[in-house]
Amino acid sequence: MSKDDPKIKEDHFLEKDKDIKGNFHVDWGRQGFVIFAYILVLLGYFGIVANIILIDERGLWISFTEMDPTVLFWTYKVYPQTFYLPILLLFFICFLLTYKEDIPHYGIKASLWIVPSLTVEGFLWYWIMLVIQSRLEPNMGFYILDRFAEPFIYQFAHGEGYLNILILYGITFTGAFSGMKLKQFIKIRRKF
């Protein structure tokens, strides 16, 4: 039998199909970094805000029930108190997401998806705090139902919510665009 025999080629293709079929492959070099970056932003962003905001003027910890709930939705108001660390974290993560990608549009797209994730996480933190706080109330169910829609009101019925979303998109796009431009600059410099 010669190498050009169609039966041999067909068997060769079937062997490859058996190896590939049924396996789920994830490129952890690329997706793993994106997942790690999302986790870092989601936990770090609100972690920085909460750890600095939950301390009063005397340096004592305050209860989260005494905290202003709008902090979770209008985070731009606390940037000066947090030394602009949430902005820097978000900027550098978006910068790295885009800089690491060979095709910058993938990094920009991954960076822009951080903002809806941050918005949803603000809702989740608020609802977690609401459930914990409602355990102190006599009518727990009514208390939760009464305040369930507050995150939507804070985020979408006030101008501050939209301003916060615009600021977050501005930071993420600026970080992603900076990463893309630096990578293009480095590629041009390497050619010379």
Classify residue 114 by burial, with Cβ atoms within 10 Å: 0-12, 13-18, 19+.
Answer: buried
Domain ranges, ordered by start, for the chain: 31-191
Tell me what pLDDT residue 156 has. 94
Tell me what pLDDT residue 55 has. 79
Tell me what pLDDT residue 96 has. 95
Q: By three-state DSSP, how is residue 55 classified?
A: strand
Q: What string of pLDDT tens digits covers the 192 residues of the chain? A: 555 555 555 555 555 545 555 566 666 777 888 889 999 998 899 888 888 777 777 878 777 667 777 888 889 999 998 889 999 999 999 999 999 988 999 999 999 999 999 999 999 988 888 888 787 778 888 888 888 899 999 999 999 999 999 999 999 999 999 999 999 999 999 988
Q: How far apart (Å, rounded) are the C-alpha atoms in residues 121 and 72? A: 9
The β-bridge partners of 61 are 55
Tell me what pLDDT residue 145 has. 83
Tell me what pLDDT residue 94 has. 96
| Length, in residues, of the chain | 192
CA torsion, points 86, 92, 94, 100, in degrees to nearest 10?
Answer: -160
> In degrees rounded to 5, what are phi and psi of residue 55?
-115, 130
